[in-house]
């Protein structure tokens, strides 16, 4: 016989100063609940959050290869293009903090970011009104900002 005492509290503490700690409290467990058949239906098609301005169903994006970095011009909203570095490991667009401020973008939260090695860095979250790559426009894109990308990214303002 297994006993489970409720509530159970779990605290996940990060090695950093503690501002990113996660505290979860489990107050209820239900075994074999009745599930609605709606949970297993094929979802209806979603409205597209992108469009091709040219009317084609593909886009050609000019790029510059510099020191094995692929640089592409990307527009955020109506601003002039920024120099993004294509990073195949990035989960979304990451802007230099100063570039985001220059565009008037407001952050909506933060989390602890990690890359290669032990170091961590604060990552500020934001929503880009739209992102334009050539003739492709994508609406409402989740992104982030990091300090000093311009200095550390081989001449790029941002990663995508």
Q: Residue 75's pLDDT band (boundaries 50, 70, 90)?
A: very high
In tens, the pLDDT along 83-132 reads: 899 888 888 899 988 889 999 999 999 888 877 778 888 899 999 999 99
Interacting residues of 85 by C-beta distance below 8 A, sequence separation 6+: 69, 70, 71, 72, 153, 154, 156, 158, 159, 160
* Domains identified in the chain and CATH numbers: 50-159 (2.40.70.10)
Nearest to 145 by CA among 116, 117, 103, 88: 103
Q: Are strands 22-26 and 8-12 parallel, antiparallel or unpaired?
A: antiparallel
Q: For residue 95, give the nearest of 61, 139, 60, 128 by alpha carbon.
A: 128
pLDDT single digits (tens) 124-146: 999 999 999 999 999 999 999 98
Q: What is the mean pLDDT of residues 38-45?
A: 92
């Amino acid at each position: 016989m297994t006993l489970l005492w409720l509530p159970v509290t779990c605290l996940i503490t990060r090695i950093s100063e503690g501002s990113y700690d996660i505290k979860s409290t489990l107050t209820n467990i239900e075994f074999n609940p009745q599930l609605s058949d709606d949970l297993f239906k094929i979802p209806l098609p979603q409205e597209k959050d992108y469009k091709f301005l040219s009317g084609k169903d593909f886009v050609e994006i000019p790029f510059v290869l510099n020191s094995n970095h692929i640089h592409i011009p990307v527009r955020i909203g109506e601003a002039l293009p920024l120099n993004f570095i294509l990073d195949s490991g990035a989960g979304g667009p990451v802007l230099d903090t100063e570039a985001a401020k220059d565009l008037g973008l407001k952050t909506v939260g933060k989390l602890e970011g990690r890359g290669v090695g032990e170091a961590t860095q604060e990552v500020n979250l934001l929503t880009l009104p739209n992102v334009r790559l050539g003739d492709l426009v994508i609406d409402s894109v989740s992104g982030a900002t990091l300090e000093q990308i311009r200095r550390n990214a081989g001449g790029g303002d941002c990663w995508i």
